[in-house]
Every structure is written in structure tokens, then in C-alpha cells.
Amino acid sequence: MAAETENLRVILAKLGLDGHDRGLKVVARILRDAGMEVIYLGLRQTTDSIVAAAEQEDADAIGLSMHNAGHMTLAPNMVKALKAAELDIPVIVGGIVPDDDVARLHEAGVAAVLGPGASAEEVARVVRDAVQANRAGAQA
């Protein structure tokens, strides 16, 4: 089914101890309002708990919100954990990521990075595109 019309299932979570969830909540509403089903895991998740949820929920994408400077450790860890579990699900990182790090995250297998200024349309489009690209890649 096309990512445009189906009810995409997206996991939203924060890895680690940081409790800033304002951005994550705004994104949850944006994606809901774009017709997606958000499986909201919220704060203090581990790569293990996200992998478990992704399997059980058959998630189409995983959105991670990063606020502290931990993105260069945590986001690649997430990608690795998904690979280890043989889950082919795009990871999208949202939050404050300095320019130099964006390319490094892409290299580490992160599908997309959304900065703090992203509009609602952009957020929804980036998620849809990441799912679509992932499926196209999987079929190729």
C-alpha cells in the first residue's frame, strides 16, 4: 500500500535519561494530524525497549527526539540494534543536531534528521518519504 494513504505506524521515543519531551509531543500531534498512528513510548527508552515495541507494533518508522548532545552515541546505537534484530525500519532523528553531525548521522544509517525549525508539513513529509524510500530500497 502507498505510504501516502495508509495509516503509517510510527514509534516516537526518547533514548536515555533526558526528560525534554516538548518536541516529541508536538511531533506526535503533527503526525496524528497527518493521519498517522503514533505509538508513543515517550521518555527513558532503551534501544532494547524500542526494538521490542517495533517488532510487536510492526512499526513503519521510528522517530527519536534528541535534546542533549547524546545523538552521536544514541542514534547510531539505535540503528545498530535494529539491524541486529533484523528489523528494516527507518530511523528519523529530531532535535538540535549541529550541521557537521547531520552528515555523520546519515553515514551511521539514520534516514533523516529534522531540525528545530521544521514545519508540520515538512515533518510529515520527511516521515512519509523515509518510509517510501525504505520500501523502495527493500524491494530493489
Binding site for other proteins (CB under 8 A): 1, 6-7, 9, 16-22, 25-26, 28-29, 31-44, 46, 48-49, 51-53, 55-58, 68-70, 73-74, 85-88, 96, 98-100, 115-117, 119-120, 135, 138-139
CB of 2 to other proteins, least distance (A): 13
CB of 136 to other proteins, least distance (A): 11
Spatial CB neighbours of 62, under 8 Å, sequence gap ≥ 6 = 10, 11, 13, 50, 54, 78, 82, 89, 90, 91, 92
Dump the DSSP string for 58-109. T-SEEEEEE-STTHHHHHHHHHHHHHHTT----EEEEE---HHHHHHHHHTT
Residue 102 or 129: the one with the smaller Cβ distance to other proteins is: 102
CB of 20 to other proteins, least distance (A): 8
